[in-house]
């Protein structure tokens, strides 16, 4: 199978869509795991979550299919002109740093 076959299977079976924001479009990797060629397609699922679907490139079998779930928090930098910090799945955790002399 090639990347276009893997992409079509990922779209048909898992509803894979193009990535937006930081990873625009579809992305692919080709690896060898335990001597088997593994072709992986990256994109977004129907809820816009980062998704990775891996296929055995010899026979087209799905090896794994996962998507990233938003959990916890992290750091978000709010710069000038960025008024909207609310996106589906985002949380904001405050961080304060102090120095003592």
The DSSP annotation for the chain comes to --HHHHHHHHHHHH--B-B-TTS-B-EEEEEEETTEEEEEEEEE-TTS-EEEEEEETTT--EEEEEEPPP-S-------TT------TT------------
CATH says 3-67 is which class?
Answer: alpha beta
Q: Domain segments of the chain: what residues? A: 3-67
More confident residue, 96 or 19: 19
* pTM of the full structure: 0.67
pLDDT in tens, 47-76: 888 899 999 999 999 999 998 877 655 554
Per cent of the chain over pLDDT 90 is 53
């Amino acid at each position: 199978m090639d990347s276009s076959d893997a992409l079509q299977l990922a779209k048909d079976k898992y509803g894979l869509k193009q990535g937006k924001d930081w990873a625009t479009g579809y992305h692919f990797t080709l690896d060898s795991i335990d001597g088997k060629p593994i072709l992986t397609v990256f994109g977004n699922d129907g809820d816009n979550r980062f998704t990775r679907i891996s296929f055995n490139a010899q026979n087209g079998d799905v090896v794994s299919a996962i998507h990233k779930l938003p959990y916890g928090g992290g750091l978000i930098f709010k710069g000038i002109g960025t008024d909207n910090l609310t996106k589906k799945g985002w949380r904001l955790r405050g961080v304060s740093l102090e120095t003592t002399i």
